[in-house]
Structure 1
Amino acid sequence: MKLQLIRNATLKLDYAGHTVLIDPFLGPKDSLPSFAGRAPNPLVGLPFDTDTILAGVELVIISHLHEDHFDDTAKHRLPKGLPIFCQPGDEEAIRGAGFRDVTPLLGKAQWQGLKLTRRDGSHGLGPVVQDMGPVMGFSLEAKGEPTVYWAGDTVLYPAIEKTIHDTKPDVIVTHSCGARWDGALIVMDAAQTIAVCEASKKSIVVATHMEALDHATVSRGDLRAAASAHGIALPRLLIPDDGDVLTLIPPVV
């Protein structure tokens, strides 16, 4: 398996002979308004041109419809015939953008030898959840590949801990920028990411969704310093830069 961080939550996976694009956020720097009154978003440009990012993509997964996960540029540039999995309730909006092959991930699904399982998430806790709306994570499995748990735009709460405990994934992808909305934490921060590492000491944790949006509170350097202070080092916690490619292999049984 190869995992490439494009920017923010956007990942490109080479997995079981297929290429999967997750949460395409493809607009140029400054194409969205500020979320925290600091600067327009995204704060950084894409590491590659859009044609390079889309090259070879066979499947798209969209966790929710916030603009930093599925923006207008993605709506225009993604081929309309690509198969898309999304959370239940978002399918009509995606079809309304012209996409023809949209499937809500209700529970489990199979696609070309890939097994997807929807996982719960909470985009914050308390009243902020009404503002943020529903989100999903997912697990990904295929023969000969590491099992992946993509947690998505969620804070750490009992449902996440249960998924980690029950599935024991080889790879966990977290969103770890500590973004806040009206003061409330809406994705994991450094402390919660470290707690994920400690909850599954045999998993590789890949921290993403960092240094792209102005409501973030945790940088890559902040997370690395916090992890080092807790004795968590490479390769247990990987913090890729935009454009980096990670090669991850299944454990030897």
Structure 2
Amino acid sequence: MKLQLIRNATLRLAYAGRVILIDPYFAPKHSLPSYAGRSNNPLVDLPMPVEAILQDVNLVIVSHLHSDHFDSVARARLPKDVPILCQPGDEETLRSAGFVDVTPLATALHWNGITITRRDGSHGLGAVLAEMGSVMGFSLMAAGEPHLYWLGDTVLYPPVLDTIRQTAPEVIVSHACGAYWGEDLIVIDAAQAIALCEAAPLATVVATHMDSLDHATVSRADLRAAAKAYGLGDHRLRIPADAEEIMFPAPR
């Protein structure tokens, strides 16, 4: 498996002979409104042209329709016939945008030798969920590839820990920017990222969704410092830069 962080939550995965694009967010720097009153978003430009991001993509997964996970530029630039997986409830919005091959991921499906399983997430806890709405994570499994668990926009809460305990993923992708909506934490922060690593001592955790939005409270530098203070090695917690690629070998 080859994982490439594009920016924010957007990833390209080369997995089981296919290329999967996750949460396409293509907006130019400072072209969208602020979330926290600090700066227009995104804070940085894409690290490569949209054409390069879309090259050879076989499947797009859209975890939810917040503008930092699926924006108007992605809506315009994605081929209308590209297969899209989404959470149930978002399919009609995507179809109304002209996409013709949209499948809601209710539980699990098998696609070109890959098993894709929906996982629960909670975009905060308590009353803020009425504003945040539903989200999803997912797992990928295929012969000759590591088992990947992509958490999505969630805090660390019991269903995430249950999934780790029950499925023993080898690679976990976590959004770890500590984003807040008002007074509420809505995405894993540094302390929760470290707790996530401790809950999965045999997995490699890849931290993304940092240094790109103005309501985040945890930068890459912050997370590295927290991990170092806790004694976590680089093999346990990877913090890629935008456009960085990480290779993961086939499981033994």
TM-score category (smaller protein) = over 0.9
Q: Which residue of 2 aligns with 1:211?
A: 211
What secondary structure sits across from 2:216 in the alignment? coil
Contact between 1:150 and 1:173, CA under 8 Å: does it hold in 2?
Answer: yes
CA distance in 2 between counterparts of 1:224 and 1:244 reads 16
- Aligned-pair identity in percent equals 62
2:229 maps to 1:229:
yes
CA distance in 2 between counterparts of 1:229 and 1:188 reads 18
Q: CA-to-partner distance for each residue in 1:164-204, whole Å, 9 max, x for gaps?
A: 10010000000000000011000000000000100010000
CA distance in 1 between counterparts of 2:226 and 2:6 reads 24
Contact between 2:24 and 2:71, CA under 8 Å: does it hold in 1?
Answer: yes
Q: Which residue of 2 aligns with 1:61?
A: 61
Q: Which residue of 2 aligns with 1:239?
A: 239
What secondary structure sits across from 1:79 in the alignment? coil
CA distance in 2 between counterparts of 1:132 and 1:20 reads 25
Compute the displacement of 1:124 (Å).
Answer: 0.2
CA distance in 1 between counterparts of 2:220 and 2:170 reads 22
Structure 2, unmatched stretches of 5+, are none
Compute the displacement of 1:250 (Å).
Answer: 3.1
Compute the displacement of 1:230 (Å).
Answer: 1.0
Q: How does 1:1-253 map to 2 (within 5 A)?
A: 1-252=1-252
Q: CA-to-partner distance for each residue in 1:60-112, whole Å, 9 max, x for gaps?
A: 00000000000000000000000000000000000011000000001011111
CA distance in 1 between counterparts of 2:226 and 2:47 reads 27
Compute the displacement of 1:234 (Å).
Answer: 1.1
TM-score, normalised by the number of residues in structure 1: 0.99
What secondary structure sits across from 1:152 in the alignment? coil
RMSD, aligned α-carbons: 0.5
* Residue identity in the other structure for 1:55: Q
TM-score, normalised by the number of residues in structure 2: 0.99
What secondary structure sits across from 2:102 in the alignment? strand
What secondary structure sits across from 1:207 in the alignment? strand
Structure 1, unmatched stretches of 5+, are none
**Residue correspondences, number:** 252
Q: CA-to-partner distance for each residue in 1:14-52, whole Å, 9 max, x for gaps?
A: 000000000000111112100000000000000001101
CA distance in 2 between counterparts of 1:8 and 1:114 reads 25
* Residue identity in the other structure for 1:207: A
Compute the displacement of 1:251 (Å).
Answer: 3.2
Contact between 2:144 and 2:251, CA under 8 Å: does it hold in 1?
Answer: no
Compute the displacement of 1:221 (Å).
Answer: 0.6
Contact between 1:170 and 1:250, CA under 8 Å: does it hold in 2?
Answer: no
- What stretches of structure 1 move > 3 A for 4+ residues in a row? none
Contact between 2:145 and 2:251, CA under 8 Å: does it hold in 1?
Answer: no
